[in-house]
Every structure is written in structure tokens, then in C-alpha cells.
């Protein structure tokens, strides 16, 4: 299959500047990076395609050859020398895009932030509305308790690595038709630490790290909603080589309530009342988050009519006021009546007389008019 045009892949003009090329690749990398699309082969392919395009167009010499000869000018069979020195640039920019800094001169023993941890927690409706303190248990990687992350057996000595002379890096020189190139790689003897461990720690076997279970109290504020994510700084895994700890992200899942339905900070409920209450109006009991409150409904309240109680909803989690409570009227129709109740309803129906019949005729007249 013929390769696509590199400019087309990055969606840039052929006159694009270096900064425009870098910006275009940054967008593609963020969109298609395998870490963000773990199960997508299509995204993986597009990420590799964009990386290849960037690797060529970000290098002035390669770009010039590509502009003159196309893919043949930068194909590996055509004497491309990118494998000797260019990949440090491209991977440096990838690290830069994802917050890791440049890879040039990057050592394994550089301080790096620890990994973040995810914890999923389920809350009752009331806990989410009013806030709650929960104790959770997590497992995370920490510095070894025995060697304090030093990797060596307590009391033993470390010596300077003889291969890299304590730098953690080894340089390899390679002569090519285009000149001498230098590759700098992590020392394979000390694994980039610059030190040789005489006796490894018995507890962590020289890794300097171990898994530990920890109990943490989490203060969940009032007003959190379903699928909220609460970050807790520096409660993630231990940093590497003295780097900062990662963060703990608590993903909140809220159980549904039998009475209240939540939309944002507003609360909704259906309130059943009796037929006489709807007809005559008057004071009714309305359940709220804090308990029962009184409300006067007007005479002739209809089924489905909705009323609002201001500031009776959920407190905003950021302290920006409070939502409202809406209740929709539903008529409670009894399924069983006593003989006396049935007789009263019959008398009521007779008392309504012609007015009820007129309403009935008026309704069907509207139906007929609608179909004309």
C-alpha cells in the first residue's frame, strides 16, 4: 500500500513552519496516543503514521529530501540516517507533549513523579447530597521500608559503576557516510543509576520499592454528583528517584433514590395527592431533602401540574448557591371504596350534572376540529 503524503497526515500546508509542524503533531499525538486509546488498532496506526510524518518534517535535511524526492528520499533503503540521531529529537517531543520533558540526556535515575491511582466508591443519595467522610483502603507502591528506597542491604556499600564511571550513560560512536554520530544510551550494568550495588536489599530484592496497603480518610464534600472525580494530591504511588508522589483519583458513583431524582443541583419528584385536595386546594405536605414542608396548592390543581420550591435543591459543590426542588402533581385514585364512598361519588357525579357533560362535549369537539 502506498504511503500517504506526510503533509496530508498532519493536515498542514507544504509551507508550514517548524512550530506549525510541531503543533499539528502535538494535536495528533494527544488524539491517537495508544495510552489514551488502549483498545484501538486504528488509533495506534494513526499515531505511528503521524509520528513518522513528524520525524521527517521536523528535520530540515529530511524534509528537504522528502520535498524533492518524496518517500524515496527518506526511505531507509535510500540511505536515511535518521536512525542514528534523529529519534532522540522525536521522542523528546513526545515526552514534552505528555508532560515528561525532553528525552535528550534523560537518565533512568532522574526524579520522576509516581503513578496516579484510581479508586471507585459508591455513595448513597443522601451521602452525596450532604457530604460524608469515608475510610478507604488502597494498595500502592512505596519506598521499601527496609532500605528506604536505596535498593541495597542496610549497612552495605555502593561503588561507582566502572562501565559508565558514575554517569549512568554510555556513549557509542558510529561512523556513517554522512559523518560521525554519537548515540547515548542508559548504562546496562547499573541501569542508569551510576552506582554498583554490592548487596541487594533482602526485602525488595534490589528494586527499592514494595506494595503496601494504606487506609485513607476521604472527606467527600456536599453536592457531589454521580460520575464526579475527586483528586487527592500526593496520595498516589511513591515518586521515583526522589520525584513527587502521584495523586489519588476517587471516582464517585451515586445510588438512585426512591423518591428524589436529581438533575444537576435541582431535585424532582412526583407527589400523589387526593382528588378532593386537587379540587379544593389547600395545604399539603411536600417531602424535601431536609424533611416535610408545607405548601398551599390552588383550587383546581391539574394532574401533571408542577410547582417549585426555591433553594430546596442540592448545595453546589463549589459553593455557588443551591438548586431548586420541583414537584409534579399526581392524583391518587383509590382502587377500593366502601359502599358509602361509592354512593357519595354517585351523588357527586349527579351534582356535577350538565357542567360535566358540557366539558365532555367540549373536549370531543376539539378532537373533531383537530381532524378537520
Q: What are the sequence ranges of the domains in the chain?
A: 6-97, 266-331, 337-372
Q: Is the domain defined by 266-331 classed in CATH 2.60.260.20?
A: yes
Choose the weakest-confidence range: 19-23, 68-72, 209-213, 265-269.
Answer: 68-72
Q: Beta 158-160 vs 195-197: how paired, if at all?
A: antiparallel
Q: Quote the pLDDT of residue 178.
A: 56
- Tell me the pLDDT band of 85, cut-offs 50, 70 and 90: very low
Radius of gyration of the chain (CA): 35
Task: Report the C-alpha gap between 223 and 113 in whole angstroms.
Answer: 31
Nearest to 209 by CA among 112, 154, 140, 109: 140
- Tell me the pLDDT band of 268, cut-offs 50, 70 and 90: very high
Model confidence at 26: pLDDT above 90:
no
Predicted structure pTM score = 0.58
Q: Quote the pLDDT of residue 102.
A: 39
The matching CATH number, chosen from 3.40.640.10, 3.40.190.10, 1.10.287.110, 3.30.360.10, for 6-97 is: 1.10.287.110
Mean pLDDT on 111-128: 92
Does 291 or 74 have the greater pLDDT score? 291
Does 305 or 337 have the greater pLDDT score? 305
Does 183 or 316 have the greater pLDDT score? 316
Three-class secondary structure of residue 196 per DSSP: strand
Q: 40: which DSSP letter? A: -
Amino acid at each position: 500500500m502506498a504511503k500517504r503524503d506526510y503533509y496530508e497526515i498532519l493536515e498542514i500546508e507544504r509551507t508550514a513552519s517548524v512550530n506549525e509542524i510541531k503543533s499539528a503533531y502535538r494535536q495528533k499525538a494527544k488524539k491517537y496516543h495508544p495510552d489514551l486509546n488502549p483498545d484501538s488498532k486504528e488509533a495506534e496506526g494513526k499515531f505511528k503514521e503521524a509520528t513518522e510524518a513528524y520525524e521527517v518534517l521536523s528535520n530540515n535535511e529530511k524534509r528537504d529530501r522528502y520535498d524533492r524526492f518524496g518517500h524515496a528520499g527518506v526511505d531507509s533503503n535510500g540511505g536515511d540516517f535518521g536512525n542514528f540521531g534523529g529519534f532522540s529529537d522525536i521522542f523528546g517531543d513526545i515526552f514534552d507533549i505528555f508532560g515528561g520533558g525532553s528525552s535528550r540526556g534523560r537518565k533512568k535515575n532522574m526524579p520522576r513523579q509516581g503513578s496516579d491511582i484510581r479508586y471507585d466508591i459508591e455513595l448513597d443519595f443522601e451521602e452525596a447530597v450532604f457530604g460524608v467522610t469515608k475510610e478507604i483502603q488502597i494498595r500502592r507502591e512505596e519506598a521499601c521500608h527496609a532500605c528506604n528506597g536505596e535498593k541495597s542491604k542496610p549497612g552495605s556499600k555502593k561503588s561507582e559503576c566502572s562501565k559508565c564511571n558514575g554517569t549512568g550513560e554510555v556513549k557509542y560512536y558510529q561512523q556513517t557516510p554522512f559523518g560521525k554520530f554519537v548515540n547515548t544510551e542508559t548504562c546496562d550494568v547499573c541501569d542508569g543509576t551510576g552506582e554498583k550495588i554490592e548487596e541487594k536489599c533482602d526485602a525488595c530484592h534490589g528494586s527499592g520499592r514494595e506494595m503496601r496497603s494504606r487506609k485513607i480518610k476521604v472527606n467527600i464534600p456536599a453536592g457531589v454528583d454521580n460520575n464526579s472525580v475527586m483528586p487527592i494530591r500526593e496520595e498516589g504511588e511513591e515518586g521515583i528517584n526522589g520525584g513527587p508522589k502521584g495523586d489519588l483519583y476517587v471516582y464517585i458513583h451515586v445510588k438512585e433514590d426512591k423518591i428524589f431524582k436529581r438533575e444537576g443541583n435541582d431535585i424532582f419528584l412526583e407527589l400523589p395527592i387526593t382528588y378532593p385536595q386537587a379540587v379544593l386546594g389547600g395545604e399539603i405536605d411536600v417531602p424535601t431533602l431536609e424533611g416535610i414542608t408545607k405548601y398551599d396548592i390552588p383550587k383546581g390543581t391539574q394532574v401533571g401540574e408542577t410547582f417549585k420550591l426555591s433553594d430546596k435543591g442540592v448545595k453546589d459543590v463549589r459553593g455557588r448557591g443551591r438548586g431548586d426542588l420541583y414537584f409534579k402533581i399526581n392524583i391518587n385514585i383509590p382502587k377500593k371504596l366502601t359502599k358509602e364512598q361509592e354512593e357519595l361519588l354517585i351523588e357527586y357525579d349527579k351534582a356535577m350534572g350538565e357542567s360535566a357533560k358540557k366539558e365532555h362535549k367540549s373536549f370531543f369537539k376539539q378532537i373533531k376540529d383537530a381532524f378537520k
